[in-house]
Structure 1
Amino acid sequence: MAAALGAARRFPAAGRPFPPGRGCGDAAGWARRERSYWRALRRRVLGPPAPPFAAPCQVGAPVLRGAAAAVGPERLGGPELRELAAALAAGLRRGPCLGLSAPQLGVPLRVFAAELPPARCRRYPPALRLAHRIEPFPLRLLVNPRLRVLDSRLVTGPEGCASLRGFSAYVQRHWAVHVSGVDERGEPVSWEATGWAARIIQHEMDHLDGILYIDRMDPRTFTNVGWMELLD
């Protein structure tokens, strides 16, 4: 047993021990990351990135756990909100993901965007599309959204999140909802959604309150979606 424990502490097979703070149980050690020379130079010249970020914040970022602030009427139609709207649309398509909230890009405001293009919709298995009413919808952006449940039946379905990259779990959501608000120009937006679209709306509304799907998931279903590849 002692020999086995000793061997388990060595990595890689050449027998070199873990560096200090980089053991299997040391999460803080694995969180540290060294920048390459060019990345360090770029950071020195350009400074740290500023919101809205080009990529979603990952779980652990404080902005994901606070309640987002309402957008004041004086900001509607302004350059800041237009920039945020463009960043959310670009982030959706770069991901690709189906919904994206302002807090995920480091902006603690009550804004989210969602889109399900037809090509992306066709990638879902037919049985799943039928069971969860997965249908395409155009890009929608909502500022200061308000949610109302239309059908309180709870349906369990798989969810992932751009802020928990590489994982998924099953989550219960209401079958149909209505969300209303305004767009970045201050024009009214009203959206009555069923099935998959309703799930996306509820997921993004949670983000605006600092809630992640892992807070609502069935913990037994939490999965690393690449677990098989990690064994190769």
Structure 2
Amino acid sequence: MAILKIARMGHPVLWQVAARVEDPTDDEVQRLIADMKDTLADAEGVGLAAPQVYVSRAVMMFFVPPSRTTEDEADDGVPLTVLINPEIEPIGDTRVGGWEGCLSIPGLQGYVPRWQRIRYRGVDETGVPIEREAEGFHARVVQHEYDHLMGVLYTERMDDMTQFGFNAELSRHATRDTDDET
């Protein structure tokens, strides 16, 4: 396996809508997934989408650490999940703001409104269908990674650019309304 280079904001691959994957069990797709797992672990993130490693394919992965789960989720968090050709839909009309970071925008964070609850579906790396409901941080990280597959960065979802800045400066100077960070 390999640790892949992560595309940064400004590279055109991050603006493209990712192509669907025809066969999740294809050797090339399996190699991509294995390399993405290594890259995510090395980068110490909670999510990664294929466009972030210069591959415009509808593959994303994420996990939710135990400390970030809601009351409705298991105490052990949400394990690493590979989601191929995902779809998401909001549940209800409630949107909540939260702080997000991104491996493609290193050292910066912004306050981003997201759907509080969603339903997502797709297939895993073996082609088995996945359908789940998520809320809180789980919903936020799924939406963030899904946006990468749609060619959208979190900065495009922000309502207030005064709540965008370098991590060090925000921690020293900004008043935070929430502690959500992806």
* TM-score, shorter chain, exceeding 0.5: yes
User: Is this contact kept in 2: 1:53–1:105, CA < 8 A?
Assistant: no
Partner of 1:97: 45
CA distance in 1, matches of 2:102, 2:139: 15
Give the counterpart of 1:106 among 44, 54, 72: 54
CA distance in 2, matches of 1:176, 1:224: 28
CA distance in 1, matches of 2:170, 2:144: 27
Partner of 2:136: 195
Partner of 2:176: none
CA distance in 2, matches of 1:184, 1:153: 31
CA distance in 2, matches of 1:144, 1:228: 35
Q: 1:150 to 1:63 in 2, by over 3 A?
A: same
Q: 1:61 to 1:149 in 2, by over 3 A?
A: same
More strand by proportion, 1 or 2? Answer: 2
> What is the total number of aligned residue pairs between the two structures?
167
Q: How big is the shift at 1:151? A: 2.8
CA distance in 2, matches of 1:92, 1:152: 32
Runs of 4+ in 1 over 6 A off after TM superposition: none
More helix by proportion, 1 or 2? Answer: 1
User: Is this contact kept in 1: 2:70–2:135, CA < 8 A?
Assistant: no
Q: Does 1:66 align with 2:16?
A: yes
In structure 2, runs of 5+ residues without a counterpart are: 172-182
User: Is this contact kept in 1: 2:3–2:39, CA < 8 A?
Assistant: no
Q: How big is the shift at 1:116? A: 2.2
TM-score (norm 2): 0.84
Q: Does 1:185 align with 2:126?
A: yes
Taking only aligned residues, the RMSD between alpha carbons, in angstroms, comes to 2.3
CA distance in 2, matches of 1:170, 1:187: 34
- Kindly report which structure 2 residues correspond to 1:186-225, keeping only aligned pairs within 5 A, or say none: 186-217=127-158, 218-225=160-167
Q: How big is the shift at 1:148? A: 1.4
Q: How big is the shift at 1:108? A: 0.2
Q: 1:82 to 1:130 in 2, by over 3 A?
A: closer
Give the counterpart of 1:158 among 90, 93, 99: 99
Q: How big is the shift at 1:158? A: 0.3
Name the aligned partner's letter for residue 84 of structure 1.
L
CA distance in 1, matches of 2:170, 2:145: 29
Percent identical among aligned pairs is 36
Q: How big is the shift at 1:53? A: 6.2
TM-score (norm 1): 0.66
User: Is this contact kept in 1: 2:3–2:42, CA < 8 A?
Assistant: no
Q: How big is the shift at 1:228? A: 8.4
Task: Map Cα deviations across residues 127-172 of structure 1 (whole Å, 9 max, x no partner).
Answer: xx779x9x72101011100111113201011000000000001000
